[in-house]
Every structure is written in C-alpha cells, then in structure tokens.
Amino acid sequence: MSPKRLFCETEPCLEQPFEKKRPRLTFASIIGDVVMVNSQNHLLKALEPLLRRVVNEEVDRCLLRYSRLLPRASSLRIQALEPSSFLLYFVNNLPSTIFTGSKITDVESQPLRIAVEAGADNPAFQVYSAMKIEIVVLDGDFASGDKQDWTAEEFNASIVKERSGKRPLLHGEMNITLRDRAATIGDIEFTDNSSWIRSRKFRLGARIVDWSDSDKNRPRIREAITEPFVVKDHRGELYKKHYPPMLHDEVWRLEKIGKEGVFHKKLSNYNIKTVQEFLKLFTIDPQKLRRILGVGMSERMWKATVKHAKTCELGNKVYMFRAPNVLLILNPICEVVRAMIDDQIYSSPDLPNIPREYLNNLSRQAFDNWHSLQDFEGNFREPPLITQEDLYDSCHQRP
C-alpha cells in the first residue's frame, strides 16, 4: 500500500506565495534603457549652469538680508554710533529713468558733480589732497525709508555686480579725483538694465578709495548715494517720445511724428527740425504748418501732435524785436508777452487799444528775423498779448 501523497505535491500550496514572473530581457529593451539614461544625463548637464546661477543668486540675496539682521560686532557697533565727520554727496539730481548706452547726466542734461562737506559736528573742514573717488552701482533698496546713515560695510554689501556672462554694469570713467572739495564725473554709462534685481532700481554710489599712508588716521567720510532710478534698454530710447518735450528736442519726439517717417521728412524739408521751430510756425501761421503735414495726417492726429507740443516747458528766455516806435518782447515760441508802442507799454492780454492785425504783422516780422533778435533771461509770467489761438482765428478770417 503506497503512502498517500501530500496535497501540496499535486496542487499548488495556498500557503506559499506566488513568485512574480520577471520580464524577459531583450536587446531592444536594453538599448532603450541606455538611451533614456543618456538623455537624462544630457538634460542634467544642460540644466546645471542655470541651476548653479539661480542658486548662487538666491544664496547671495539671503546672505545680504541675513547680514542686515545679524547683531553687529562690537567694532561695527562703535562705527555705526560714530557720526561721520565728512559727507560725500551728489550735487545734482539724476532723472528717474536712464537708458543703457547713454551718457549718465542730471535732469538738465548736465554732467554729474560730486562734492564733500563737513558734518554737523565738525564744522572745521580740512582739505585732503587728491582724494580718489570710485563710482559704483547700488541696489535701489539701499538706505530706503528714514535711514540717513550707514556703515562702510553696509554700503559695500549693497554694491551690485554684473550678471553672469554680462559686461560690468558701468562703463567709462568710474574713478575720479576730488580736488578743492569737488569733482566732475566724466562719461559713464550703464551696460545692462535694472529689471533683473528685486527692487528693479539702481542707485549710484561714490566712495573714497586709495588713501595714502599719511591719511590712514583720517576721519570717516560717508559715501554718497543718489535717489533710486530705473535703467531701461536703449532700444526704447531711440524712438522715445518726451513728456513734456523740450524746446531743443527733435521734432519727431512729438506724438504722431515718427523718426525718419513721412511727417518728419516733410517738416525737415521746411527746416522745421525742433519742437521750438514747430511751435514758432504754429504760433505765426498754423495753416501753413497744417498744409506742410498734408492730408496724410488726420485731424485727430494733428490735434494730438499740437496738444503734446503745447506741453513744452518754455523756460525764462525771451527775445527782443525792434521796429520804428515799436519794441516787442516775445517768448521762445514767438508769442508776444510785452509790447512798447509809441512809448506806451502794454502787458495785459485784454487791451483792445492795439489792433490785432497790426500786432500779428509785427509778430510775423519778428518771426522772419528771428536769428537777428536779441535774447536774454527774463521772467514774464503774464499771459501773452496775442496767443496761438488769436493768430489761428485771424488766419481763418482772411478772404
């Protein structure tokens, strides 16, 4: 009698786990795995420089913020509490927007100047010979709010360097010599915009460098900073309209007149090259100006151009025109602001004693002889005796 066979010998044992079938390796699957690994390696190599740059920028920003929150070392605390004996400062103000590749000037297009003065606690000023000044770029958020003083370490920590792979932020004469307490900054320009930093603005800063050995015990001279400003790429500046336009601006700075466009060329053919020349002709003969621009400029475009031109700042310069028994004072766009006729002075816009056509003719004579007029600085704030609208109405009343 044969022994009974165990159940597990003939049927699968329920208590033993099932073994998963391993996929069969083929040559195609092996090649596919290799290609996938190579693709991932190439992707990682391509991303590595970008990731390194992003990480470095974020680490630098975090360190800068954290360093401002850290308690000062004892030496730094003493320095922060010690008032600056002397102060560097920028004499003139910068515009709120600066373009790359353009010379950095003040709001009046004049060269920047920097000077040094004594602090409130040190009225006695000692002149240091040939102090070397370095111009640097600062983060626009530096010294924001009510903060009026800082340490040299704080100033240096806020200096902005160029982006990876870019040229230095400033190009030109960044090192100047301070003589007789002042110096003029030469040609410097930005090479990159300010949109890539968190504040989206820069400041210019100035600090003393390269002290001689005899000046090592000098008092602290606090660094100079400007107000924050935006730096934009020069591509937009090339065709940028000015608000308000300036008298000396080229006429294509006005709305609806494109640079090297049809209207620009038409005006140039009549020697109307600046905003001042545009406004002078509009004052004297607006119909002629309208005819020059032609039917290609719609009435809506014409009104927009004239409206923009009229926002121009006229300044204080006035011009004197002389004729027999007549002396006219005109503003830069040929409007009469004061007149002396037969020894009687007229300075009110509402004097019916002067025939309008007579005054119009005098204005046209002044316009025709503009380059021979004597100019000087004046302060004639009253309205002109005859305006652009008066002349425009007079032109329409002609037969």
Higher per-residue pLDDT: 176 or 235: 176
Q: pLDDT (tens digit, 9 = 90+) per residue, 310-325?
A: 999 998 899 999 999 9
pLDDT at residue 134, as a whole number: 96
Residue whose C-alpha is closest to residue 383's, from 333, 346, 351, 348 = 348
Residue type present at position 90: F
Whether the Cβ atoms of residue 225 and residue 204 lie closer than 8 Å to each other: yes
Whether the Cβ atoms of residue 89 and residue 117 lie closer than 8 Å to each other: yes
pLDDT at residue 397, as a whole number: 47
**Reduced 3-state DSSP string for the chain:** CCCCCCHHHHCCCCCCCCCCCCCCCCHHHHHHHHHHHHHHHHHHHHHHHHHHHHHHHHHHHHHHHHHHHCCCCHHHHHHHHCCCCEEEEECCCCCCEEECCCCCCCCCCCCCEEEEEECCCCCCCCCCCCEEEEEEEEECCCCCCCCCCCCHHHHHHCECCCCCCCCCCEEECCEEEEECCEEECCCEEECCCCCCCCCCCEEEEEEEECCCHHHCCCCCEECEECCCEEEECHHHHCCCCCCCCCCCCEHHHCCCCCCCCHHHHHHHHCCCCEHHHHHHHHHHCHHHHHHHHCCCCCHHHHHHHHHHHCCCCCCCEEEEEEECCEEEEECCCCCEEEEEECCEEECCCCCCCCCHHHHHHHHHHHHHCHHHCEEEECCCCCCCCECHHHHHHHHHHCC
pLDDT at residue 76, as a whole number: 39
Instruction: Kindly report the backbone phi and psi dihedral angles of residue 232, in degrees, each rounded to the nearest multiple of 5, phi listed first.
Output: -115, 160
Tokens of 124: 């006695």
Instruction: Indicate whether 9 pLDDT > 90.
Output: no
Percent of the residues in the chain that have a pLDDT greater than 90, as a whole number: 46
Instruction: Over range 141-153, report the average pLDDT.
Output: 84
Instruction: Over range 262-289, report the average pLDDT.
Output: 97
Residue whose C-alpha is closest to residue 188's, from 106, 283, 302 = 106
Instruction: Indicate whether 24 pLDDT > 70.
Output: no
Q: How confident is the model at residue 129 (pLDDT cuts 50, 70, 90)?
A: low
Instruction: Over range 117-128, report the average pLDDT.
Output: 57
Instruction: Indicate whether 16 pLDDT > 60.
Output: no
Cut 0.75: pTM above it: no
Whether the Cβ atoms of residue 203 and residue 138 lie closer than 8 Å to each other: yes
Q: pLDDT (tens digit, 9 = 90+) per residue, 157-169?
A: 999 999 999 999 9
Locate the domains of the chain by residue range: 84-236, 241-309, 317-397
Q: pLDDT (tens digit, 9 = 90+) per residue, 49-78?
A: 666 766 666 766 666 655 555 444 434 333
Percent of the residues in the chain that have a pLDDT greater than 70, as a whole number: 66
For domain 84-236, the CATH class is mainly beta
Q: How far apart are CA 257 and CA 267, in angstroms?
A: 10
Instruction: Indicate whether 216 pLDDT > 90.
Output: no
pLDDT at residue 109, as a whole number: 83
